[in-house]
Amino acid sequence: MIMSTPNDWKELLGKAYSISTEDIEREVKQEKEVANKTKMKLRVAIDKKNRSGKTVTIVTGFDGDEDSVNALAKVIKTKLGTGGSVKDCEIVLQGDLRDKVLSILVNEGYSSSKKI
pLDDT-based confidence at 1, cuts 50/70/90?
low
The residue extents of the domains of the chain are: 9-39, 41-115
pLDDT: which is higher, 84 or 52: 84
The reported pTM is 0.68
Q: Is 11 exposed, middle or buried (0-12, 13-18, 19+ CB in 10 A)?
A: middle
State the average pLDDT over residues 54-73: 89
Instruction: Tell me what percent of the chain is helix, strand and coil, each rounded to the nearest 5.
Output: 45, 20, 35
Q: Are 10 and 4 in contact (CB under 8 A)?
A: no
Q: What is the pLDDT of residue 53?
A: 85
Q: What is the pLDDT of residue 65?
A: 81
17-35: pLDDT as tens digits: 666 677 777 777 766 666 5
Question: Cα(45)–Cα(27) distance, rounded to whole angstroms?
Answer: 34
Question: Cα(94)–Cα(110) distance, rounded to whole angstroms?
Answer: 21
Domain boundaries 41-115, corresponding CATH code? 3.30.780.10
74-115: pLDDT as tens digits: 999 999 999 999 998 899 999 999 999 999 998 888 877 778
Q: What is the pLDDT of residue 36?
A: 66
